[in-house]
Every structure is written in structure tokens, then in C-alpha cells.
Amino acid sequence: MHIPDQATARVLVVGDVMLDRYWFGDVARISPEAPVPVVKIERNEERPGGAANVARNVAALGARVGLLSVVGDDEAGQSLQRLLSASGIEVSLHVDRAISTTVKLRVIGRQQQLLRIDFETTPSHEVLRGKLAEFAARLTDFDAVVLSDYGKGGLAHIAEMIRLARAAGKRILVDPKGDDFAKYAGATVVTPNRAELRAIVGRWQDEAELVRKAEALRSALDLEALLVTRSEEGMSLVRAGGAVHEKALAREVFDVSGAGDTVIATLSVMLAGGAGWADAVRAANVAAGIVVGKLGTAVVSRRELESALN
């Protein structure tokens, strides 16, 4: 299977970016102050997270990628800018002086996540309007748009973005968040995980009921497809003509954080390059199987994916 390159696949990623910080240490004792482990920090790492991790994944697959988002006027925002500029992404981070850049700090001891601390604030309206204007201007340069919603407020104008992208004839992929999917109406594909889908359509007893409920949602939102990622159960693509199921491929699951980013990034590269649904979903499933074998928010390289596919 061929993975499209920069000449044929151009993806614009818009959404909530964040800085993923990792503090790695050793746990040798329990605190005398409270029944909690004491972690002696030995090293730390920073990686782009959220929509920025989606963009990194697109770049790692060899496609052309632009990233449009909002950060605070702070050290974490500058770190994100520096990390992203080094990875071949066309970055446009609008600075909002009224907010702090979203940071997720994870404390890792003995290869296990012990604690996560989140810092976040919602961007201001003026900055988001400026971002929308830039989105409208840059649309023509890209084949597909990924709207990566982490519920941090950076996609307040998502319905308008979908309308603009659809009018321009672009493929629109949405990674959803929250209990209101109406704002995603008109997208090409929405990619909820099991829990996100359950929050919208309720529980299902078996495969047939899952497909029935997913199809009703797909139809109500006027989507071309709905892709449900189901962890160890693989993923299911629901379209008007029926459902296609892909089995999970991970040999060893080390860390699922960021797996959804890899799935939507791979799907966007394949669709932007003209691949059909079956090939696009197969490639996304194989990429997910690779990335969950890595620690933290990670990427799958073009070479890794090609060798796994072939």
C-alpha cells in the first residue's frame, strides 16, 4: 500500500495544542507525610501534545502539514513553538496574552504514570476570530483539514470552519470531545472512541446495535463516515453502505495516550492523498498498533508504517 507524500497530501491541523511534560524518576519509599510514593526526579522530557501531536504524526508520515492554534504568552508556549519548528511543520500559533498555554505534566515512576497535573485556560474571543480569518485564507493550500477538539476552547468556531472547508471541497476530519456532536455536522468523518460514542448514543448490547446506533448518528450529522476507535476491539468504520471492522493489531500495549492523534493523522494523510476508505482505515489501524507500543505521546514514521503494511 502506498502512503501519500508531500506532493499529493497536504493536511491543515486546527485545534487545541498543549505541551506534554514528563518527569521521570525513581520510587524508593513512601512519604512520611501522607500515604503517597516519593518520586526522586532524574530526567524530564517535553513533547508537543493535542493538535500539535496530530501535526507531528502527519509530518512523520511524510505529508505536508500546517498547524493553526492558540498559545499563551509564556515559557510553555515558546517551548511548543521551538519543538514544532524543528519538526517540519508550517506553524502558526496565535498568542493570547490573557491565557496560559495548556500543559499536561505527567510524573512517571518505574515506567508507570503516577500522577498527571493539568494547567489550562480558555482562549479569548478576539484571538479566536483572528484564527478563523487565517483558517479561511489558508484553506486553499490544503487537501484535508483535521479539527482536533480537546475541549480547551480553541475550536469555538468549529461549525463555521466545517462550513468553509466543505464549501471549498476539502475532506474534514474531526476528533471530537464532549456531549454535543451537533457542531460537527457536515464533516467528512468524526472519530470518537468508545467512551465518547457512548456519551452520545448510550450503551449497546452487541455489534449489531453498535452499528445501528452509529449509523443513526452518522446520518443525523450528515457525515460521510463515522470511525469508532475501540481499543483492544480494534476500530469500526460506519458508512451509508454498512460497516467495516478492523481487528486491533497491537502486540504489546505500553501507552494509549496519543493513539487517537495517530489514528486521525494517518487517516487524514491517506484521504488527502486520494486513498479509498478501506485502505485509509487499514493504515490508521496499523499505525495505532505501532504507536501504543511506545511510551507517551509518540509518532509513527513513514518507514515503520510502510514496513508494517507491506
Q: Give residues with Cβ within 8 angstroms of 212, minimum separation 6.
A: none
Q: Specify the pLDDT at position 297.
A: 78
Q: Specify the pLDDT at position 1.
A: 85
β-pair type (37-50, 17-30): antiparallel
Asked whether the predicted pLDDT for residue 305 surpasses 80, the reply is yes
pLDDT digits (tens, 9 = 90+) for 231-246: 888 999 999 989 999 9
Q: Specify the pLDDT at position 298.
A: 86
According to DSSP H, which parts of the chain are helical?
A: 51-60, 75-85, 125-138, 158-167, 194-201, 207-220, 259-272, 277-291, 302-309
User: Which has the higher per-residue pLDDT, 272 or 255?
Assistant: 272
**Catalytic residue set:** 261
Q: Give residues with Cβ within 8 angstroms of 103, minimum separation 6.
A: 18, 19, 21, 76, 118, 119, 120
Q: How far apart are CA 38 and CA 245, in angstroms?
A: 44
- The pTM is what? 0.94
Q: Specify the pLDDT at position 80.
A: 96
Per-residue burial over 10-47, b if 16 or more Cβ lie within 10 Å, else e, is bbbbbbbbbbbbbbbbeeeeeeeeeeebebeeeeeeeb
Asked whether the predicted pLDDT for residue 217 surpasses 80, the reply is yes
pLDDT digits (tens, 9 = 90+) for 35-93: 999 999 999 999 999 999 999 999 999 999 999 999 999 999 999 999 999 888 999 99
Closest CA to 14 of 77, 91, 78, 72: 91
pLDDT category of residue 249 using cuts at 50, 70 and 90? confident
- Average pLDDT of the chain, as a whole number: 94
Q: Specify the pLDDT at position 112.
A: 87
Burial of 191 (0-12, 13-18, 19+ CB in 10 A): buried
pLDDT digits (tens, 9 = 90+) for 158-216: 999 999 999 999 999 999 999 999 999 999 999 999 999 999 999 999 999 999 999 99
